[in-house]
Amino acid sequence: MSSSIARPAEAQPKFEPRNLRRHVLRMAYRGQSVHVACAFSIIEICAVLYGRFLRYDPRNPAWADRDYLILSKGHGVMAMYACFYEIGWLGNTDLDNYFKDGTHLRGLCESDVPGCEVTSGSLGHGLSIACGIAFGLKRKGSDRRVYCIVGDGEMNEGPMWEALLFAAHQKLDNLVVIVDANQFQAMGRTEDVLGLEPLPAKFEAFGCRTIECDGHDPSALDRALASLTTPCDKPGAIVARTLKGQGVSFMAGDNRWHYTRLSDEIYARAMSELS
């Protein structure tokens, strides 16, 4: 590693998924915003990345030697904000004023928020940016890594597959693509909108070393990510099988929670399940 992270043991964030989901609910309720379910499906992915794999400075999200996490499915940004809160980059005022007038935290990933590397409200572009960053780091001889979280519905987009072709051609083994395969996109089941399976075989065909795992099992994610850190001249890909809305019983697998807002009653009920 080019530099160590000055992160005292006593300040080590825990990134406990239950707490992260509570932070997401708090933001969505206070801001009366949507996209709860699509944030819930990447909670464990973000927890494992920030807890075990990403190099970052808890005092400075713009640390020059950081690894990159590109959130291509920008509507899941509350999961990242929840991690930022655990790290200390965001505080109580930020969470309680989420999505309100004057806040710097919006409902989609925006690059002017410290810790968010790209603006990714428009789907299908984050992976291309991640490839460009990984290519630049490779050219510089840097050992920094790039991780990119994409949605399975987002894989409908042609630029995603063009980016994978580029990544394989340039042998970007410093890049790992993580597919949040939660079975839904905004308007329906992913397979009903445009069939994508078998996703692992497609990623393999596009030149990626590919692992399929349970995206809500931190140990499985840990093993998958660790296995992709060894240089081998191929980009890595993880097809993380997730459930949209995972963590709250009445949200899990219910695509209405892509756009549904939290009432007082529903908020209390959801928080009770996570207590």
What CATH number is attached to the domain comprising 131? Answer: 3.40.50.970
CB 170 within 8 A of CB 199: no
Distance from C-alpha of 47 to C-alpha of 15, rounded to nearest angstrom: 5
Residue 12: per-residue pLDDT: 59
> Considering the entire predicted model, what is its pTM?
0.94
Cα–Cα–Cα angle for 89, 143, 56, nearest 5°? Answer: 10
For the chain, the 3-state helix, strand and coil shares in percent, each to the nearest 5, are 45, 15, 45
158 within some domain = yes
180 within some domain = yes
> Domain count of the chain?
1
198 within some domain = yes
24 within some domain = yes
DSSP E strand boundaries for the chain? 68-71, 146-151, 175-181, 184-185, 188-189, 209-214, 236-241
Going residue by residue through the chain (275 aa), what tens digit of pLDDT does each one get? 333 333 334 455 789 999 999 999 999 999 999 999 999 999 999 999 999 999 999 999 999 999 999 999 999 999 999 999 999 999 999 999 999 999 999 999 999 999 999 999 899 999 999 999 999 999 999 999 999 999 999 999 999 999 999 999 999 999 999 999 999 999 999 999 999 999 999 999 999 999 999 999 999 999 999 999 988 999 999 999 999 999 999 999 999 999 999 999 999 999 999 99
How far, rounded to the nearest angstrom, does the alpha carbon of residue 255 sit from its chain's CA centroid?
19
4 within some domain = no
Q: Give me the domain span that covers residue 243.
A: 16-273
How far, rounded to the nearest angstrom, does the alpha carbon of residue 4 sit from its chain's CA centroid?
23
7 within some domain = no
235 within some domain = yes
Query: What angle do helix axes 126-140 and 158-169 make, rounded to 10 degrees?
Result: 10
10 within some domain = no
Backbone region of residue 43 per phi and psi (left: phi > 0; alpha: psi in -120 to 50; beta: other values): alpha
